[in-house]
Homo-oligomer: A and B are copies of this chain.
Amino acid sequence: MVTIKDVAAHAGVAFKTVSRVVNNDPTVKPANRDKVLASIEELGYRPNRAAQMTRRKKSGVIGFIADELLRVPYTFDLIRGAQDLAWKNNKELMVLNVNVDKYSVEGAINHLLGHRVEGIIYAAMYHREVTLPEQLTPVPTVLANCFDPSKRFASIVPDEKEAAREITAKMLNKGYRRIVFLNLNENIIAGQQRKAGAEQAFAEHKGKNCELHIESVIIGEEGNERSVTRQRAAELIENFKPDAILCGQDPMAVEVYFVAQSLGLKVGENIGIGSFDDWDIIPTLLQPSLTTMALPHYDMGQWAINYLLNERTDIVSQTAKFNLINRDSF
């Protein structure tokens, strides 16, 4: 490849002058700058990043460990949010996709340490707690969509409770009175906190004749979950007679749409349906399109990058607000 000295020879200047042009040093005489720029163009010169890094002693790289992230489509927005802001600040994002069997977290960290990353974002597939190895100590680290129970790292997670409160309140305000919340597994944080949020909305509403039924329809221990959504949705429609159903995630809503149709109910007319996630194309694939609380993955990715760029060291536990995407299902 062509080096800085090749360019210098071609342009008839010292290689230090080429370096100045490349780094936008304003003290270069315009005539020389033009000569150098022309030579760079003609030779197709690009500064060797590895050489720049070794001399500068700064890598300009931020590491992103994606823990099983990429099995769920919308989680990619975490990376997108981080990447967009990183580039704006002339930083690179080095993304490592980690999964238990293939590439251990320790391996990923060692890898990033070898690149002298200036910070690490660790992001999880779903909102949960994580315990990271001690190795991380030398590098500023921030957690996204997960948190450290021992408070060694700052973190940002979705505000599950407020999301459930908001969409439940919206249902109540629209006049729905008998709401079934088909919740996620209550073993996970989202399931626990959303339950509290839905209950809070009912407590605040104080409407008469309002009733809320909450039930987990993703059951079983981690790694062995199964959905009883269809069965329970059908039974609850029969027995509880809800006028609205709130689903723990958009795929669940697909199942509920099928159940509703099979029972002769029209979504958005005889029964309102709401959900969480804004999962890929599912919400607009459904008819009527699904009103859902979109997970704030993009925002969390941006917040995490900003935390590192601003060289913060405070151990905050930040929450990010979901975005209500209004469509036609309630």
- CB of B115 within 8 A of CB of A49, answer yes
Q: Which residue of B lies closest to A281 (CB)?
A: B251
Pick the contact of A116 from B50, B83, B84, B285 — CB < 8 Å?
A: B50
Q: Which residues of B contact A254 (CB under 8 A)?
A: 254, 285
| Residue A5 is within 8 A (CB to CB) of chain B in the complex | no
For residue A258, which residues in chain B have a CB less than 8 angstroms away from its CB? Answer: 257-258, 261, 287
Asked if A47 meets B114 with Cβ closer than 8 Å, knowing A1-B138, A83-B97, A280-B280, the reply is yes
CB contacts (< 8 Å) of A84 on chain B: these are 102
How many copies of this protein are present in the complex? 2
Asked whether A240 is an interface residue with its Cβ less than 8 Å from the other chain, the reply is no
Closest Cβ of chain B to A328, distance in Å, is 15
The answer for the CA separation of A73 and B44 in the assembled complex, in Å, is 36
Question: Looking at chain A, what size class is its interface with the partner chain?
Answer: 35 or more
Contact of A54 among B44, B46, B50, B281 (CB under 8 A): B50
Closest-CB distance, A326 to chain B (whole angstroms):
21
Closest residue of chain B to A115, judged by CB?
Answer: B49
**A50 adjacent to B59 (CB under 8 Å):** yes
Is B50 a contact partner of A115 (Cβ separation < 8 A)? yes
B contact residues around A44 at 8 Å (CB): 135, 138
A110 sits at the interface (CB 8 A): yes
A80 within 8 A of B: yes
Query: How close is A285's CB to chain B, nearest CB, in angstroms?
Result: 5
Q: Which listed residue, B47, B115, B285, touches A251 by the CB 8 Å rule?
A: B285
Could you tell me the distance between the alpha carbons of A281 and B48 in the complex, rounded to whole angstroms?
43
User: Is B280's CB under 8 angstroms from A116's CB?
Assistant: no
Residue of B nearest to A97 (CB): B83
Nearest-CB residue, chain B, relative to A139 = B1
**Chain A 99-140 interface 0/1 with B at a Cβ cutoff of 8 Å (1 = within):** 000110000001001111000000000000000000100100
- Chain B residues with CB under 8 Å of A115's CB are 49-50
Complex CA–CA separation, A230 to B114 (angstroms): 54
* Measured CA separation A49–B285 after assembly (Å): 46
A51 within 8 A of B: yes
Q: A246-259: contact bitstring with B at CB < 8 Å (1 yes, 0 no)?
A: 00000100110110
Report the separation of the CA atoms of residues A53 and B115 in the bound assembly, to the nearest whole angstrom: 11
Tell me the minimal C-beta distance from A37 to chain B in angstroms.
15
A148 and B115 alpha carbons, distance in the complex (Å): 34
- Between-chain CB contacts (< 8 Å), 11 pairs: A1-B138, A46-B110, A48-B114, A48-B116, A49-B115, A50-B116, A73-B73, A73-B280, A94-B94, A254-B254, A255-B285
